[in-house]
Amino acid sequence: MAIAFNHTIVAARDRRESATFLTELFGLPEPKEFGHFLAVALEHGVTLDYAQVGESEEIRPQHYAFLVSEDDFDAIYGKIRDRNLPHWADPRGSRPGEINHNDGGRGVYFQDPSGHYLEIITRPYGG
């Protein structure tokens, strides 16, 4: 069966701020308007479609994990540190300011402006 992930909607208090946060941190092309969304293009045609959520609406934080190369990890983690973004090595946040070395790779967690949990890893966990 040939099934591939294509897109998901990411709720944001300020869709431009959140989409731009990701593109600048990851070195991706600028987000593009797509109907009511701002689309951030990833590999293999996948997009994260940022949607504006009203002030009175709740945003339930989600988790988005990104598999990156060692060089990209260095670049992104450097930006995380340069911006003094809170980050941690584990999903519970009990190891602040650290990275993990799970499965022989590296990983780190941090949050976007809308409170979503982002993670970059250099190796898939459990692999």
Q: What residues does each domain of the chain span?
A: 7-121
**C-alpha dihedral over 30, 34, 40, 41, to 10 degrees?**
-100
Asked if pLDDT for residue 117 goes beyond 70, the answer is yes
Among residues of the chain, what percentage have pLDDT more than 70? Answer: 99
- Can you give the pTM of this predicted structure? 0.95
Q: Does domain 7-121 have CATH number 3.10.180.10?
A: yes
Q: How crowded is residue 30: how many other Cβ atoms within 10 Å of its Cβ?
A: 11
Per-residue pLDDT tens over the stretch 16-28 = 999 999 999 999 9
Mapped to the 3 state alphabet, what secondary structure does 66-118 carry? Answer: EECCHHHHHHHHHHHHHCCCCEECCCCCCCECCCECHHHCCEEEEECCCCCEE
